[in-house]
Chain A
Amino acid sequence: MPINKKAYRRYRVIDACIRNKMRPFPTMEELIDACREKLDVDVSSETIQKDIYNMKLPYPDGLDAPIRFNRSKGGYMYTDPNYSMSGVSLNSDDIDAIKESLDLLNDLGGERLGTKFKFAMEKVLASMKEELPEDVTNRKVVQTDVPSGARGYEHFDLFYKATREQIPVSFVHYSYTKRKFKALTIHPVVMKEFQNRWYVIGYSEFHEEIRTFGLDRIYGPFLLYKEFMDLDPDHRLAYLNDVYGVFPLRDGEKEKITIAVRPIVAHYFQAYPIHQSQKIEMNDYRDAEITFELIPSQELVQLILSYGDQAQVIEPERLKSYIKRSK
């Protein structure tokens, strides 16, 4: 039997009173007064008695609370002093850690993710009679360059659910390059964030292959009752692990890519490797050759082009000519 929200709030007050070491063994009158004060509602002794009865019920119907009326003290007590309503004992360090994690998540994950997890964490903290102080959660100490109000982010929750639970999705996609709308169905396998933009990757029925779609170009997504088409695990892993960025070049396969770079560019690659396969060899003139085992992608092309004449592709020929055409 689910516990209703109003009753749960009373349980929290009763729990707080019983655990209050400053005023142990609260009487029925004190419990009624506490509910009136904390919740701003009038409750009867019958309601509190019923609440205590329900709290004592074993999980999942109740909270398994070891409440007993102590006749000699004239009030209520827990027979197990370590009892916690949440079933999880958190000490003050644990609670601080949760609060700090939540702050960090808020700062790093953007407003929407932050809010989603904030609600869940508030539930955990509420059971420990802890509140999230507004002044702390609103004070941003880590800044990321995720702009608020990015288009398509409102679909994040739907695609996250679809990806987790393997549910096909119908949506309308607008291609910036082709300037064309298309309604299509994908079977999403992963959501990927790259350079502050979110993408959903999955098998597209229309294209009959794995494809990447930016959330900013998606309209009207609907979850479907349809059999999910999962991808071959090897293909899936290659697409996810062997691509720098999100848009591999058409018919691209994993291959050795070598670029020659000037020293200053080599320093950036040393500081921020772009792939686990990256290897840097400095030559006698302090220039460097960097090699990767990657599927060539649009983002790799853009990265190389961004260094101008300080970075040049040595191999493969196909990537070399692609970059030449893109200049």
Chain B
Amino acid sequence: MKPLSALFGPPRSLRRKLVINVALAVLFCMALATFVLLREFREHLKENLLASLVHEAGEVAGIIDPDAPDYGLTTASMRFSDPDGKYRYTLFDAQGAALAGGETAPAIAAQIREAPEAEPSMIVLSQGRLGMAVPVELDGQTFHVLASTALAEPSGNSVADLLHEFGEEFHWVLLGILSIIVAAVLATHRSLRPLTAVSRQAHDIGPDTLDRRLATDGLPAEILPLVTAVNGALDRIDQGYRVLRDFSSNVSHEVRTPLAVLRSTIDRIEDATLRASLTEDIGRLDQMFEQLIDLARADALSPATFRAVRLHDLAVDLASEMAGPAVRDGKTLAVTGATQGVAMGHAGLLTIALGNLVRNALTYSPAGTSIEIEVMAQPAGWRVLDRGPGVDDGQKMALFERFNRGAGPAPKAPGSGIGLAIVKSVADAHGAHVSIEDRAGGGSIFGFRFNR
């Protein structure tokens, strides 16, 4: 069925509808043509028959002799009556009385009496047969010669012949129908092809690529208004989105600046204890604010901005940034695993996601332990291995929800509770998968795996 649907299109497709409608229309036209043809043919047959009856009746009329026995007609001859003894010819007088031959009945007699005396007239016989009565004027006396059709219906046979003939030539008709359908399918296929390109363009339009528009080249005139209207809608969305984005970028700038001023003011405080405490508070505020911005950016991420990211390089750069504070906390970092892995993605947000996993591991790991970033090439991704307290099975996936901080032995751990939710958002935007497993020998393994 696969190739069939390739030709006719999936259910509800324009192409399939067109094929079905064209096929039905062609069949209807064929039926109509056949019907008209048959009717014309039968009409023609009947006219021919009646003309030959008149001719025969005229011939019989020519040999009538009123003085001879049986009016000179040899009523017993084959020509006069058919093999079943039915009379082909009957001679009537003006009053409708049968003079020679036997095709008569009161109904026939009545029709003969009514028949005009100057032209032939059609007589309806028994069993739906027809006959033609021809008036003859002999010795001042009017006679009517009736020529009747035989019992069998000759036109029926001719129609059957015609149908048979038609059936023999039917493959030509079939070829005609097929060529019409193929022409219709090709026409739809060719005029719909630009739509595939338009769909692809539409697929790549996201918050980061709102300046793109659908191409209108080569589109069928019927679809052009739709695409133009969609482009118009995109213009309006783009404009609205720009306002929003400028707003959030303004907000992030407007909030960062006073935070930075506040921090620089705190740096000038002479009292070291107070300064340290305030610095810690403002650090937490900074982190929370930056994470909210990360979350908003991850949610709005579009695959159109993805580039090839070297997973090992990203991990090493990140680990280099984070190693200083980690070592000062008495912990250490390591990058292991493949050096070749590459994935398509947004390097900035992937760095933030992996950074959150590492920061999370550092937060919950005791001093003297090592946090390992393992780079994986097949399937591409990272694993962050720690020797922390581990995560209860019931808590595992809930950890990736927003503002859900793990219950457990580190209740005073810094963090806003959205670090792992950002990881999840970034993963979702990349079609990647996050996981938490227990690590043999204690601790957890947080995984971030790209799907192929």
A and B co-occur in one complex: no
Question: A-contacting residues of B (Cβ < 8 Å)?
Answer: none
Interfacial residues, chain A to chain B (CB-CB below 8 A): none
